Structure 1
């Protein structure tokens, strides 16, 4: 079997895949098209399955040390009434960890530090990916060509590699939601580690971070491409009457810190995550809505599965077939569950539907809600 890989994309999934392959002795090059590593994004929430994947990659403890456990919180109405309460200690007892929150920039740094110096190339876009014979994939990049035994496409929801491999696939579609998010610029006095608040067609959430700051996000049901001249002022207008600490979180945020992205997903599942010696991973394979907080965790699971497959199979093609068989059913099931969670949560806007959902949530025992979460958090790597 070969031992040279090119990873297209230097996000969480791509870096994790590179770490996994490097740990089994492969020579790995990561191509990141951005000219500067800006570490865009506010925060990453990691459930127990994602942390187990990081343990397999050798960076789990470092990530835990830089994260804050989410122990107390739940879901509320805009006026502050609790619909459900969640206890992170119950998750910790059941699956070994509560949900952990870590700034995205810190996560990127920890992953990059686990790779050999020089293996990550910035300002390097993969212009072409072509399997030139039965044993070699050629990646065109900046007028040069990199030959590899394996190419991992971790180039995000708008993956160009995926579109080349599956030209008839419809590709990503707009989920109907757009999200604004930021890290506060200073410490915030919070009574709960994490909260979600659901209004008609709207969600506001926050999680507390290790340094006392918080990450918040606002999900709005708006047409694709909607943008605001002054996003922070617009959010203050929309959420000024919602319960504390929502106005305080917005007041503790610098206008320049607010990020705004439409949420796109692969609503049509891919028929395979592998073609020959090319593998798709993370959002390139199964971009999902954020309603279960499993996007990064599923990419990390992918990375572990991809790195484990070569040891169990005689060829790269067989290893990728194994990877596909293991990862596609689970990740696509999680994507469907995330979509359904959005339909029953943030996307509901009719007053009667909202009232029925709120009543059902209020009457559901917390142990039942916890059991639903455990379905996704209980993954463990194959031995």
Structure 2
């Protein structure tokens, strides 16, 4: 039996996880990435001082355990015992306890540098599997019931950033992990509503940690939010959101914009902004799925991650759900399996679950857009009361999400890949 071929469009967290998982499953995998350097998700990626962090909850860690990558990712995180929710002046509304998350979900949330996680995954691919500097366009979704009708993808680009006349590739399976504005999704479902702006834009930055800063915190202000999370290696991952019109850019630079919006907030916010290199501050509008898609697949093409279920970052599940998608897809799509049945099962398992996460994240995200004084005061009172009377309320928002486990008998227990399966670790 010939080896089945798979093309993965996009080398972000979800695309690389899918590529590693399919490789371990026995597929011949090629990853197509449009960038060459300078963006998270490429093999070389940005310098580790720039970019952003990613929160990996226990559900994502268990999925990565099936690839033998869970322990390596857990080692990237800086262990944190507590965190705080504050107001811009510094008043503490609530404390969070990592040990409570361990008890409830079997492990902590690990926050790591996104570029380091993608580099870890890319290193688990066979040599030559990742092609950068090429743009992929879906030509034909193919027919999984017909051996003589593979999916067809046209790629342009030479790999060094210059254009060429292009070439056409065929594959038994195409995994479209090409992000929020997915061209593959538009080609498969041209009448489906595009993701909609969630009402906030987000900034992300990684800076050296000021002396003595070891605790995570999130601060809620009028129509805005600031978060600080320690990373390994003496670094801080900071993120911020503000309810502003989409498509905006600072007239000077984005660090200056953050200083205008957050420069008078409590310590350590001003110190973190003072330490930031303006060139490394990322700004992106936040989008969420406007409606459930008809399916997560069509023909021989499977969509995953932001390409099919973009969500607000309020539950920290965007990357986690993409990782889940990838592991479930590879588990179902054994090379010898009925691919039509496997892709239909992928849609059945992933569509309702991920869209529930989208809706839950969006409900929390709407709280971030409250601007009026009375509304913000009410929000602060509710947070403080909930912290006293129901200290596990924040964790309850992740019930049915962070406790997810990979399918029983997951494929990766075989011998392919660089390491054996690691069991989920309990952190005490």
Q: Could you say whether these structures have the same fold, taking a TM-score greater than 0.5 normalized by the shorter chain as the test?
A: yes
Confirm or deny that 1:9 pairs with 2:23: no
Structure in which a larger fraction of residues adopt helix: 1
- TM-score, structure 2 as length reference: 0.85
Q: Residue 275 of structure 1 is aligned with which of 275, 291, 298?
A: 298
Confirm or deny that 1:23 pairs with 2:59: no
Q: Give 1:147-166 correspondences, 5 Å limit.
A: 147-166=170-189
Q: CA separation of 1:356/1:379 partners in 2, compared to 1, >3 Å: closer, same or farther?
A: same
Match of 1:357 in 2: 379
Confirm or deny that 1:167 pairs with 2:190: yes
> For residues 284 and 117 of structure 1, what CA distance do their matches in structure 2 show?
26
Confirm or deny that 1:368 pairs with 2:393: yes
Q: CA separation of 1:304/1:263 partners in 2, compared to 1, >3 Å: closer, same or farther?
A: same
Match of 1:217 in 2: 239
- 1:262 CA drift (Å): 1.0
Match of 1:57 in 2: 67
> For residues 190 and 319 of structure 1, what CA distance do their matches in structure 2 show?
51
| SS of residue paired to 1:377 | coil
> For residues 266 and 132 of structure 1, what CA distance do their matches in structure 2 show?
26
Give yes or no for contact 1:32–1:121 (8 Å, CA) kept in 2: yes
- 1:131 CA drift (Å): 3.2
> For residues 202 and 349 of structure 1, what CA distance do their matches in structure 2 show?
8
Q: Give 1:93-242 correspondences, 5 Å limit.
A: 93-133=103-143, 134-135=146-147, 136-142=150-156, 143-184=166-207, 186-228=208-250, 229-242=252-265
Give yes or no for contact 1:70–1:99 (8 Å, CA) kept in 2: no
> For residues 116 and 37 of structure 1, what CA distance do their matches in structure 2 show?
22
> For residues 335 and 190 of structure 1, what CA distance do their matches in structure 2 show?
36
Q: Residue 382 of structure 1 is aligned with which of 407, 412, 421?
A: 407
> For residues 141 and 235 of structure 1, what CA distance do their matches in structure 2 show?
38
Give yes or no for contact 1:71–1:98 (8 Å, CA) kept in 2: no
| SS of residue paired to 1:244 | coil
Give yes or no for contact 1:312–1:319 (8 Å, CA) kept in 2: no
Gapped runs of 5+ residues in structure 1? Answer: none
Gapped runs of 5+ residues in structure 2? Answer: 41-45, 157-165, 409-428
Match of 2:92 in 1: 82
> For residues 63 and 312 of structure 1, what CA distance do their matches in structure 2 show?
28
Which is further off, 77-86 or 11-20? 77-86
Q: Residue 314 of structure 2 is aligned with which of 279, 283, 291?
A: 291
Deviations 1:150-201 (A, max 9, x none): 11000000100100110001212211111111101x2323545321101010
Give yes or no for contact 2:137–2:153 (8 Å, CA) kept in 1: yes
> For residues 312 and 368 of structure 1, what CA distance do their matches in structure 2 show?
43
- 1:312 CA drift (Å): 11
> For residues 279 and 158 of structure 1, what CA distance do their matches in structure 2 show?
16
> For residues 90 and 312 of structure 1, what CA distance do their matches in structure 2 show?
41
Deviations 1:23-82 (A, max 9, x none): 111111100011225325311111111111111122111111122233210311111122
Q: Residue 288 of structure 2 is aligned with which of 265, 271, 291?
A: 265
Which is further off, 272-281 or 89-98? 89-98
Q: Residue 72 of structure 1 is aligned with which of 76, 82, 91?
A: 82
Give yes or no for contact 1:170–1:268 (8 Å, CA) kept in 2: yes
- 1:85 CA drift (Å): 1.2
Give yes or no for contact 2:304–2:325 (8 Å, CA) kept in 1: yes
Count matched residues: 381
Q: Give 1:300-311 correspondences, 5 Å limit.
A: 300-311=323-334
Q: CA separation of 1:330/1:312 partners in 2, compared to 1, >3 Å: closer, same or farther?
A: farther
Give yes or no for contact 1:45–1:99 (8 Å, CA) kept in 2: yes
> For residues 139 and 237 of structure 1, what CA distance do their matches in structure 2 show?
46
